Chains A and B, each alone.
Chain A
Amino acid sequence: MKEPQSSRRGFLKAAAGMTAVAAAAPALLASQSSKNGNFYGYEEKVVGLASKIKGAGEMDFNYPDVDSPCKAVMVNGQIKAYSLLCTHKGCPIMYNATKKAFRCPCHFSEFDAQLDGQMIIGQATENIPEILVKIEDDKIIAYGVNGLIYGRESNIKG
């Protein structure tokens, strides 16, 4: 994969080190995945504890694999989770807990965490993919993705 055309345009300061951000997101509890109960080929995976997120307000995880950073947030009294890769050009989006919205530092697209990731403003052609989660015995279980994750032709690789 060649780098974006002009390095004279390797431009936006905020974008610097973005690949590192994507890679650095920890694969929380990755071992606790299940081959059972999958949905359209997605594996169910325990990604965290509901009790913890209720206190912290947000939690990073990876789903459906280690290369796909995601964040779960408390909004409207429930846990919602989204991909952290902007659907415009793949920069890591940042969560604003006050606004309950994600903002991309590269080209300023914003997505509403309270409205299924709807783009508030910006240059993406898609809303941010929602990671479908359910709670069982305090465990947050990811079981699917609604929307194509940036940088993939298929959410499930291979």
Chain B
Amino acid sequence: MGFSINDKRPLPPVGATKKNITCEFCIVGCGYTAYKWPKGTSGSDKRNALGVDFSKQQPALGVWASEQMVNSVIDRDGKEYNVMVIPDQNCVVNLGQNSARGGAMAATLYSKSTFTRDRLKDPQVYGGNNLNRTTWGDATDLAARVLKKIIDNDGPDQIAFKAFDHGGGGGGYENTWGTGKLFFKAIQTRSAAIHNRPAYNSEVHATREMGIGELNTSYYDTELSDTIFVIGANPYETQSNLFIMHWAQNLQGGTIDAKKKEFDRGETAESGKIIFVDPRVTSSITNAVALAGKDNVLHLRIKPGTDVTLMNALFTYIHEKGWEAKDFIKKHTENFKKTANANAVSLRKASKVTGISVSDIKKAASWIAKPKKSGHRPRTAIYYEKGIIWGIKNYENVASIANLAILTQSVGRVGTGVCRLGGHQEGYVRPETPEGMPGRKNLVVIDAEAAEGNYLAFFAWGCNPFVDSIMGERLATSIKRRSDIVKKAMSRNIGADNETMADAIYRACKYDGGLFMIDIDIYPTFKSEVAHVEFPAATTMEMNLTSMNGERRVRLSEKIVDAPGTAKPDCLIAAEIANAIKSLYKKEGNTKMAKRFEGFNWKTEEDAFNDGFAGQGAKMDSQGGPTGVLASYDLLRANGNNGVQNPIKKVSNGKLVGTRRLYTDNKFGTKSGKAMFQPTPQPPMPRQVKNQMKKYEFWVNSGRVNEVWQSNYHTSRLPMPSTRWPIAPMEINPKDAHAKGISNGDLVMLHNDYGSIRVVAYVTDSTRSGELFVAFGFPNSPLNNLVTDFVDPDTKIPFYKGTAASMRKIGRVEDIANTMSFKSRI
């Protein structure tokens, strides 16, 4: 950094364009305000659009724009603008607070003078050893011709797609609908997989089948909980403002008055307590201790893979003590006795399996379920995320937690809930194929099939399969080999028209084992190296976008800048492809097939929203549900950054009115309307993982560091995260580091039967001896390379959090070792 450029920021003048932005990163979905004004104009320190007098030092927790909160852009009108994006003080989600991720949104904007300058700008087609920029007409025509040949000759299931299904940047209701309509209604393929997993599945099949949607409470309710029970999650780093703005308040006793107001008369109202189940000591745990005191924080430092036994032990002990919600269980649940019998486990056995002391299990059970001083049932909010979802067996892991919630009626009541914490925001509205999708037990593991030679075409849309899938190295190697077969065929036909080229591509796929790769993204990645056609997408702030946060809060995040080059919203890219295929069918007079590709006459993303979220209601699988039809851009805009919580109840005086908490009437999402207990025996260690454990020295766990988002696409281009985390860190216990002769900053190779990665050693007590923790999502050191091909046979969700590897010290790269801090993060 040079101080000639970073000690002063421009201010928006009064009258600057002002828009509401929902953070594009984590599920919390904080509200931000964006300002845009022509370069060369500026507000003064005393008079500006923020209404803040900057001639005076601003107090803590005030309004301020850091360096990363301001950027300059060039719009399609060729004019230069400044853009400022700051957290919104009036948004109930974050009350003016930013996280390390969201606070850098302005810096993620496309700018010719920063590292975001390599954004994809125009469609590209492979030719002459490179991707070449071309027109939308040319690229869609070539893609459409290949896809049509496959549909006509081989059937739509030979076209696989792997795409986002979520909200936030790289998603949103507009874009899930656009892509879903293209693949499921028009192309009609069932060969689908979701952005971070190898099949088209839910990460929470279990809780849904038990009748409980996974996002059933509100952030406000967690301010009112007596106990917050967190399993396999690190919210300070991954749902930061939920932890900082809502839980911290509760843990410090700042919500006791609100509790008194919301609780039953005479009910005990005290500061909240918090329990963490995690094999690591995380910053969430140490910060919770700083907030609540050590007596109000319980860390159950579990042995990997044994969460189900812990949940079953808590279940058994709570039942033994008679602390279960007897009346609720009788009236509103099914399958209790069978589950209680199947899951019964002694505390002694559970302690041996999990490594957690009997007294700590008892303590946790009493915090969760023991009646309060006033005799009232405690209000427990239960939260879980990837430590469970991507654990030893997805279905039982999630079900065992939902069992505990039903047992203690930790759902539907004030201050309760049983929810996933979530990664990204949500944004699902999609049709199904005419044949329907296979049931969860029969889902196809698309990525493994593609690696083994199946499919003729593969869309990788707004995701990076080589960072976010099982056995990443094998997948990348295989896709590259198959892509090269197509590239060779294309090179043999230099100068050919699109029909001739499409024919050559098709033949290379059909007869020579090639795979036609279509990449849709905002940045070049390894996908660009294997793509034959690439389309540039727009993202948050470049389009109007609606998503839903972890408390089902839907907002309209408004467009404030133009996307680079000719990049388009994903929904309109889907429309371009559908319309190109339709036109080919029309030309040959096949009206039946042309009709299948109709319904994409969208000019804007709002058209896609009105067709999908606001148009389908109960007709489709939509998070808006039947009342989604009440929504419109105008109404959402009127509700601003506070939006509306799904499901929408009504429109009252021009305002959308939503739902704070679900299941308040104890009617659950099963046929009988009763919540369904599920027997959850402890799953065994999968064979593939066991084999790695036998052969390799260290257990390898994985997770997030707070500055890095998803596959690091934006964050690797920002000055702070890219300096802080140049490659993935590997946390190693001091004892193991000493035994291996490894110091902070050493470059280490981890390897097993599936692949290898290079990581940088970070010596810390956070991890136990024998266990490593590697940050997930770094394309330059993808942890997935070490992940086995195991998926839960019942849900096809991988065990990303469990593998084993041995290490080899490589040496030091001084630029890495000397430029990142290795001080304790806990």
Contact A90 B59 (CB under 8 A): yes
A-B complex: 9 closest residue pairs judged by Cβ atoms: A151-B58, A67-B57, A125-B103, A90-B60, A125-B68, A112-B821, A4-B61, A155-B7, A154-B8
Contact A108 B724 (CB under 8 A): no
| Residue positions of B touching A, CB distance < 8 A | 1-4, 6-11, 45, 52-69, 89-90, 95-100, 103-104, 107, 236-237, 240, 244-245, 248-249, 252, 254-255, 258, 283, 287, 290-291, 706-707, 720, 723-724, 819-821, 823-825
Contact B11 A153 (CB under 8 A): yes
Closest A residue, CB atoms, query B95: A5
A148: which of B4, B6, B96, B237 is its contact (CB, 8 Å)? B6
C-alpha gap A158/B61 in the complex (Å): 23
Q: Which residues of B contact A13 (CB under 8 A)?
A: 252
Question: What are 22 of the A-B contact pairs (CB < 8 Å)?
Answer: A1-B52, A5-B90, A6-B95, A8-B258, A12-B248, A22-B59, A67-B57, A85-B60, A88-B103, A91-B60, A99-B824, A106-B60, A119-B724, A122-B100, A122-B706, A125-B66, A125-B107, A150-B60, A152-B58, A153-B8, A153-B10, A157-B45
Distance (Å) between the CB of A38 and the closest chain B CB?
12
Closest B residue, CB atoms, query A2: B89
Q: Give chain A interface residues in 1-49, CB to chain B under 8 Å.
A: 1-6, 8-9, 11-13, 15, 18-19, 22, 39-40
Q: A110-B823, A125-B69 are in contact. Are A153 and B9 (CB under 8 A)?
A: yes
Q: A88-B98, A119-B724, A125-B98 are in contact. Are A148 and B66 (CB under 8 A)?
A: yes
Q: Binding site of B, secondary structure by majority: helix, strand, loop or mixed?
A: loop
Q: A125-B69, A148-B67 are in contact. Are A108 and B98 (CB under 8 A)?
A: no
Q: Binding site of A, secondary structure by majority: helix, strand, loop or mixed?
A: loop
Contact B100 A123 (CB under 8 A): yes
Contact A11 B6 (CB under 8 A): no
C-alpha gap A1/B64 in the complex (Å): 11
Closest B residue, CB atoms, query A121: B825
Contact A125 B100 (CB under 8 A): yes
Contact B287 A108 (CB under 8 A): yes
Distance (Å) between the CB of B693 and the closest chain A CB?
30
Scan A114-127; emit 1 where CB is below 8 A from any B CB, else 0: 11001111111111
Contact A9 B57 (CB under 8 A): no
A147: which of B67, B89, B291, B723 is its contact (CB, 8 Å)? B67
Contact B9 A154 (CB under 8 A): yes
Contact B63 A19 (CB under 8 A): no
Closest B residue, CB atoms, query A91: B60
Asked if A89 lies at the interface with its beta carbon under 8 angstroms from chain B, I say: yes
Q: How many A-B residue pairs have CB under 8 A?
A: 190
C-alpha gap A12/B7 in the complex (Å): 29
Contact B823 A12 (CB under 8 A): no
Q: Give chain A interface residues in 76-122, CB to chain B under 8 Å.
A: 85-92, 99-101, 106-108, 110, 112, 114-115, 118-122
Closest A residue, CB atoms, query B50: A153
Distance (Å) between the CB of B709 and the closest chain A CB?
13
Q: Which residue, B9, B68, B821, has most C-beta atoms of chain A within 10 A?
A: B821
Beyond A125-B107, A155-B8, 12 additional contacts (C-beta under 8 Å) are A1-B53, A1-B56, A2-B89, A4-B89, A4-B95, A18-B59, A99-B824, A100-B823, A106-B60, A121-B283, A123-B99, A126-B68
Contact A11 B57 (CB under 8 A): no
Closest A residue, CB atoms, query B1: A146
Q: Which residues of A contact B8 (CB under 8 A)?
A: 148, 153-155
Contact B244 A123 (CB under 8 A): yes
Distance (Å) between the CB of B462 and the closest chain A CB?
25
Contact B6 A147 (CB under 8 A): yes
Contact A90 B103 (CB under 8 A): no
Contact A132 B57 (CB under 8 A): no
Closest A residue, CB atoms, query B3: A146
Contact A90 B252 (CB under 8 A): no
C-alpha gap A143/B64 in the complex (Å): 24
C-alpha gap A68/B58 in the complex (Å): 10
C-alpha gap A124/B720 in the complex (Å): 10
Closest B residue, CB atoms, query A86: B60
Contact A125 B89 (CB under 8 A): no
Q: A9-B95, A99-B823, A152-B57 are in contact. Are A132 and B3 (CB under 8 A)?
A: yes
C-alpha gap A40/B59 in the complex (Å): 26
Contact B98 A5 (CB under 8 A): no
Closest B residue, CB atoms, query A67: B57
Q: Which residues of A contact B103 (CB under 8 A)?
A: 88, 123-125
C-alpha gap A40/B4 in the complex (Å): 7
Q: Which residues of B contact A92 (CB under 8 A)?
A: 60
Contact B95 A119 (CB under 8 A): no
C-alpha gap A114/B69 in the complex (Å): 26
Contact A123 B58 (CB under 8 A): no
Closest A residue, CB atoms, query B284: A108
Asked if A145 lies at the interface with its beta carbon under 8 angstroms from chain B, I say: yes
C-alpha gap A147/B56 in the complex (Å): 18
Closest A residue, CB atoms, query B43: A153
Q: Which residue, B58, B291, B823, has most C-beta atoms of chain A within 10 A?
A: B823
Distance (Å) between the CB of B249 and the closest chain A CB?
5
Scan A133-154; emit 1 where CB is below 8 A from any B CB, else 0: 0000000000011111111111
C-alpha gap A153/B13 in the complex (Å): 13
Closest B residue, CB atoms, query A151: B58
C-alpha gap A57/B467 in the complex (Å): 45
Closest A residue, CB atoms, query B4: A40
Contact A1 B283 (CB under 8 A): no
Closest B residue, CB atoms, query A108: B287
Closest B residue, CB atoms, query A103: B290
Q: Which residues of A contact B249 (CB under 8 A)?
A: 8-9, 11
Q: Which residues of B contact A147 (CB under 8 A)?
A: 1, 3, 6-7, 67
Closest A residue, CB atoms, query B59: A19
Q: Which residue, B9, B57, B240, B706, has most C-beta atoms of chain A within 10 A?
A: B57
Distance (Å) between the CB of A93 and the closest chain B CB?
11
Closest B residue, CB atoms, query A13: B252
Q: Which residue, A22, A119, A153, has most C-beta atoms of chain B within 10 A?
A: A153
Distance (Å) between the CB of A75 and the closest chain B CB?
12
Distance (Å) between the CB of B247 and the closest chain A CB?
11
C-alpha gap A7/B66 in the complex (Å): 24
Q: Which residues of B contact A145 (CB under 8 A)?
A: 3, 7
C-alpha gap A118/B60 in the complex (Å): 20
Contact B64 A119 (CB under 8 A): no
Contact B61 A15 (CB under 8 A): yes
Contact B54 A11 (CB under 8 A): no
Contact B60 A18 (CB under 8 A): yes
Q: Which residues of B contact A118 (CB under 8 A)?
A: 723-724, 820-821
Contact A108 B823 (CB under 8 A): no
C-alpha gap A154/B10 in the complex (Å): 9
Contact A151 B287 (CB under 8 A): no
Q: Which residues of A contact B104 (CB under 8 A)?
A: 125
Closest B residue, CB atoms, query A39: B3
Contact A119 B6 (CB under 8 A): no
Contact A1 B58 (CB under 8 A): yes
Contact B98 A123 (CB under 8 A): yes
Q: Which residues of A contact B283 (CB under 8 A)?
A: 108, 121
Q: Which residues of B contact A40 (CB under 8 A)?
A: 3-4, 7
Q: Which residues of B contact A3 (CB under 8 A)?
A: 59, 61
Contact B821 A120 (CB under 8 A): yes
C-alpha gap A150/B100 in the complex (Å): 15
